[in-house]
Chain A
Amino acid sequence: MYKRRKIERRYVVIIILVVATLLLGLFSYSINDNRKLNIIEKSIKDAGLIINKTINVPINFVKDKIDEAKSKHKIYEKYKKLSKKYEKVELMEAKYQESLKEIKELKETLELNKTLSESSYLNASVINRDIGDFYDTMTIDKGSKNGVKKDMAVITNKGLIGRIIKVSNFNSVVKLLTDNDSNSKISVKIKVNENDYVYGLLVGYKEKNKTFIIEGIAENTEIKKGYEVTTTGLGNTFPSGILIGKVKKVSTDNFDLAKTVEVESLVNFDNITYVTILKRNMEK
Chain B
Amino acid sequence: MKISIITIIVSFILDGIISNFISLDSYLKPLFTVVSLIIIYPFLHNKQNEYLKIAFITGILYDIIYTNTIFLNAIIFILLAFTIIKINVFITNNFINVGFISLFIVIIYKIVNFFILVIIGYLNLNFNVLLNSIIKSLLLNILYTVVAYFITDKIARKNNIYKID
Contacts and interface: CB of A to CB of B under 8 A. Distances in A.
Interface of A: 23-24, 26-31, 37, 41, 44-45, 48-49, 51-52, 55-56, 59, 63, 126-135, 137, 166, 173, 180, 207, 269-271, 273
A129 B63 CA distance: 14
Interface string B16-44: 11011101111001100000000000000
Contacts of A23: 71, 75
Interface in B57-77: 61, 63-72, 75
A271 B113 contact: no
Given A133-B137, A270-B25, A270-B26, 13 more contacts: A23-B75, A24-B119, A30-B63, A48-B16, A48-B61, A55-B13, A128-B17, A131-B67, A135-B67, A137-B68, A166-B68, A207-B129, A270-B23
A27 B24 contact: no
B133 interface: yes
Nearest to B26: A270
Interface of B: 13, 15-17, 19-21, 23-26, 29-30, 61, 63-72, 75, 110, 113-114, 116-117, 119-124, 129, 133, 136-137
26 contacts: A26-B70, A27-B69, A30-B68, A30-B71, A31-B117, A37-B68, A44-B65, A45-B65, A48-B16, A48-B61, A48-B65, A49-B65, A52-B13, A59-B21, A63-B21, A126-B20, A128-B16, A128-B19, A131-B15, A131-B19, A133-B29, A134-B113, A137-B68, A207-B129, A270-B23, A273-B20
Contacts of B65: 44-45, 48-49
B113 A24 contact: no
A141 B69 CA distance: 19
5 A-B pairs with least C-beta separation = A30-B70, A28-B120, A48-B65, A270-B24, A131-B66
A127 B120 contact: no
Contacts of A26: 70-71
B128 to A, nearest CB: 8
A30 B75 CA distance: 14
A133 B71 CA distance: 17
Contact of B120 (A27, A48, A128, A273): A27
B58 to A, nearest CB: 12
Contacts of A269: 24
Contact of A31 (B110, B120, B136): B120
Nearest to B62: A131
A65 B21 CA distance: 14
B74 to A, nearest CB: 10
Nearest to B29: A133
A32 to B, nearest CB: 9
Given A26-B71, A27-B72, A28-B121, A132 B66 contact: yes
